[in-house]
Amino acid sequence: MLANVIRNVWTWVVIFCGHFTTDVITFSKTVLKDETRGQWYLRQLHGSSNLRGGRLLDLMTGNLSHQIEHHMFPELPANRYAALGKQVRRLCATYGQHYNTGSLPRQFAQVVWRLLRHSLPSKPRGEVHDMKIATG
């Protein structure tokens, strides 16, 4: 039972750190209409985040510490994400795109902050993006 609790908490942390940090953008279904392939890749980039921590963290997360690459290239074997991440990072730098990555404690703190912020009543802040992503 303890092993199941530990596994479930770890899985929750890894999944939320890959999808719910402060820099992750959420999109409405309307962006899917007429979405180009380039816009799809940008949505995968801006809708996920990575965990930085080296090979041990990669092993402990099943390489899902590279959530950006997992979203962009879901059919590739997970053991190729780290090498591919270097190329994706270079492309992001070349084209001025944010590559969302950080340490596990930093990313988890952002998740907790975002969960708390969304748990309390507030004015809508435009979290959901209906606009098309410019690829130019």
pLDDT value, residue 120 = 84
CA distances from 42 to 37, 50, 59, 95, 120 (A): 9, 15, 27, 11, 30
Q: Please spell the DSSP secondary structure of 71-97, one letter per residue.
A: HH-TTS-GGGHHHHHHHHHHHHHHHT-
pLDDT value, residue 121 = 81
Kindly report, residue by residue over 66-89, the tens digit of the pLDDT: 999 999 999 999 999 999 999 999
pLDDT value, residue 117 = 87
CA distance 102 to 17: 9
pLDDT value, residue 124 = 63
Point out the residues of the chain with pLDDT beneath 70: 123-136
pLDDT value, residue 55 = 93
pLDDT value, residue 136 = 47
Q: Which residue has the tokens 């209906």?
A: 130
